[in-house]
């Protein structure tokens, strides 16, 4: 039987007035290592997403608040009994002067799984965002599952980024070729939207052999990377975040 569940997180300058989970999604308040920033971890209360599940997380960071959201462990995308895809939707809203670090652990796409993720972000003109997304195609020495991922980011009502990626046996032909991921099994991106880029835009550059930083209109910067495994992918994205994140 498929599961439908939505978790909600709301942060303001005084705390977390809304912290509600359902089904496999259990948000928990934890201690932040950064002064003035609240931190929430999404804990998986049961195995999910399975094929046929529909999960969602809605997060609002109100004006002037600072929030970091992570996950307790990697998420396993698993096949379900019906063969239907699983859906995992994120809706993130960040108000004026607010800051959101969205830094979950990777999603591992197990053999036979089919996952559709859609992330929609709405930013106020002075909001700042650091968002990381990582997918690992199969467990160790396992054939990959299929993942379809779409990321849409709007700032002050204007689109900053709208892109999608499809990987795995259910994706169009060529997904594993040199023009896409070149045989690698970990793919990820780091998006930073910061008003400071309006006066000091980042410089386009390679980050090693399989990663690149691209400035975006917005103002924003996008790091796209592939790697043989999750550990090497995270190392590239972490280094880019340390270099570009201004707090």
Q: pLDDT band at residue 170, thresholds of 50, 70 and 90?
A: confident
Which tens digits make up the pLDDT trace of 83-122? 899 999 999 999 999 999 999 999 999 999 999 999 999 9
pLDDT at 18 over 90: yes
DSSP string of 130-167, one letter each residue: EEEEEEEESSTT----EEEEEEEEEETTEEEEEEEEEE
Sign of CA dihedral 153, 157, 159, 164: positive
Task: With CA atoms as reference, report the closest residue to 227 among 198, 200, 201, 188.
Answer: 188
Q: Does 46 have pLDDT greater than 80?
A: no
Round to whole Å and give the CA distance between 162 and 23. 30
Contacts of 202 (CB under 8 A, 6+ apart): 213, 215, 221, 244
Residue 247 — very low, low, confident or very high, per pLDDT cuts 50/70/90? low
At residue 237, the 3 state secondary structure works out as helix
pLDDT band at 32 (very low <50, low <70, confident <90, very high): confident
- Computed over every residue of the chain, the mean pLDDT equals 94
Higher pLDDT, 1 or 82: 82
- ∠ Cα 98 28 89 (to 5°): 65
pTM of the model: 0.95
**Beta pairing class for 4-12 and 15-20:** antiparallel
């Amino acid at each position: 039987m498929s599961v439908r569940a939505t978790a909600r997180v709301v942060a303001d300058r005084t705390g977390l007035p809304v912290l509600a989970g359902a089904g496999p999604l259990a948000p928990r308040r934890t201690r932040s290592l950064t002064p003035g920033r609240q931190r929430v971890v999404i804990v998986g209360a049961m195995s999910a997403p399975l094929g046929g599940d529909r999960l969602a997380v809605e997060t609002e960071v109100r004006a002037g608040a600072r929030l970091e959201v992570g996950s307790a462990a990697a998420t396993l995308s698993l096949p379900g009994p019906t063969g239907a895809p699983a859906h995992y939707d994120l809706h993130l809203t960040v108000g004026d002067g607010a800051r959101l670090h969205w830094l979950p652990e990777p999603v591992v796409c197990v053999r036979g799984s089919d996952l559709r993720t859609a992330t929609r972000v709405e930013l106020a003109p002075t909001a700042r965002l650091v968002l990381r997304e990582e997918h690992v195609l199969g467990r160790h020495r396992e054939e990959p599952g299929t993942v379809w991922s779409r990321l849409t980011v709007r700032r002050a009502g204007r689109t900053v980024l709208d892109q999608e990626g499809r990987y795995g046996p259910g994706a169009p032909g060529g997904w594993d070729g040199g023009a896409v991921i070149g045989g690698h099994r970990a793919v990820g991106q780091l998006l930073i939207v910061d008003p400071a880029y309006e006066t000091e835009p980042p410089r386009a550059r390679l980050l090693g052999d399989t990663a690149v930083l691209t400035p975006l209109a917005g103002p924003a910067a996008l790091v796209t990377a592939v790697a043989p495994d999750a550990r090497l992918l995270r190392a590239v994205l972490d280094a880019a975040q340390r270099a570009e994140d201004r707090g």
